[in-house]
Structure 1
Amino acid sequence: MSTAPQWDPQQYLRHSGYRTRPFLDLLARVPRLPAEAGHAPRIADLGCGPGNVTTLLFDRWPDARVTGLDNSAEMLESAKPLAGPTTGGGHLDFRSADILRWAPDETYDLIASNAALQWVPGHVDAFPTWLDALRPGGSLAFQIPGNFDAPSHRLLRELCAAPRWRDRLGETLRHRGAVLDPVGYQDRLAALGCEADVWETTYVQVLSGPDPVLDWVKGTGLRPVLTALADDPQAAEEFTGEYRELLREAYPPRPYGTPFPFRRIFVVARKRTK
């Protein structure tokens, strides 16, 4: 069974620029929301993390009422200062919730998620519940990493399965089926009666500093391993050292920095009006 990761908001935010860009690209493709005249749009952000990306929703919908949902106490504590009225007349609040078991108790114009659903096994099974909570013409919009075959992830899986680590870490990581391919999402959402816009993009992120790819994954993909080894600092240091050497070979630096290709899958599914 995979280990529920303990999150470090500050580590996650170290690369906030690159983590933010895909969400902005996603929101640019969301069609007009169906909020009734005189009523502010109602939006949910699933897996809101520290809230820095959630606030970007107000750039597009200044008067929206937005709720960020996350099951990490650390992330919600970091997001807390952002809650309250917004300068455009909107309002932001945060709640603790298990995304897969979240049962919306009101109607939404947009349910969005940024790089969170890959952590939710079986998230496609929640699509009917989420779509039922949308107004006709509302949208479910999310982006997720599609890089499970990248060296950063493949090497991490292989190291966890190595003889030295397999007993402690062999079942720690997410499997490759944690996300569908783009056509898989298209098929699922079309079967639910949605008009789905699905695409993928590979961002060549140029990272800087010593061991920059390791620094990146410490905020995301490496979290389950660090959580599993939290009670054994020496083992955590030794594992990280082995992984560091593998990443250095897989991602050699250039004079301008270290290129880190990162594939993302995007989905905007609009609920039909009839």
Structure 2
Amino acid sequence: MTYKKTEPFEGSAFPLRVTVQKRQGILVNPHWHEHLEVMQVLAGRVRVQVNGKRYEGQAGDIFFVNSNALHGVEALEAEAELLGVVWDIRLTDSFMEEVELQHLYHLLLRSEVDPVLARARQPEWEVCSGTLQELRREYEGGGLGYRTAIKSHVFRLIREQLRKLQSTAGLMKMTREYERLRPAIALIEQGYSGRLPLQEVAGTAGLSLFHFCRLFKRVMNRTVQQFVQEVRLREARRLLRDTDLPVAELSERVGYGNPNYFARVFREHTGTTPLRMRKQYQDMKAAGQHPHEPE
């Protein structure tokens, strides 16, 4: 029997779903998926199971379910009600522009974290609960810019979980490895627009090319080439947002000599074309919004 669940949003441009479950017995059948999920008990009492461990929750309690974690929820009272928010792990990529943040995020996805994000009336509860309420209102109300607003709320929830992760055992080793890679990461971020010999990049970390590539993949959860591409596309999004440069000139500035190839790569990774993204930025600015600038 397989417990993997396919969410209805998979393959869509906005991979997120909000649900409210209210019934006796099983609220959420045991399953797993590659997405992230946050659940809040709206009423009554429930029992949450994550990777074989049980956690009881009451009205207000908030739980975080990591990628690939087997989980389910049982109602312990007839009036139990559960809010669920599930989203693809790449939904907030545009908010993860700081490399240190990306490192922690990918570490989070590979870690076994405490599923209890916030208990009712704990200090961090007010932030998490308020964020979930705002997210739900945006999701149900729609309107101009609602997707960007929802992404910012999801980012806040991830941020709260990352803060908890920073205090866990085992993080120090990963942080030391990241510090060793920092000079190479800085070189990539400074020289993304030109040719980057990998041997030179590896040398800044004092490693052979083989050991550097292996360490980079383990710590950053992607290859060096994938990271270079991410840096280039991140700068491309910034230039689309903040300048009026023609796409051909923009693509050359970020290291793509062929504008057609740049447009194809950009669409594969963002789901839209450079010109359409620029138009989205312009529309949001005209509405008084600030695209991709989380607090």
On whether the aligned pair clears a TM of 0.5, the verdict is no
Q: Output the TM-score relative to the length of structure 2.
A: 0.24
| Structure in which a larger fraction of residues adopt helix | 2
Instruction: Give the structure with the larger strand fraction.
Output: 1
Larger Rg: 2
**Relative contact order, CA 8 A, sep 6+: which one is greater?**
1
TM-score (norm 1): 0.26
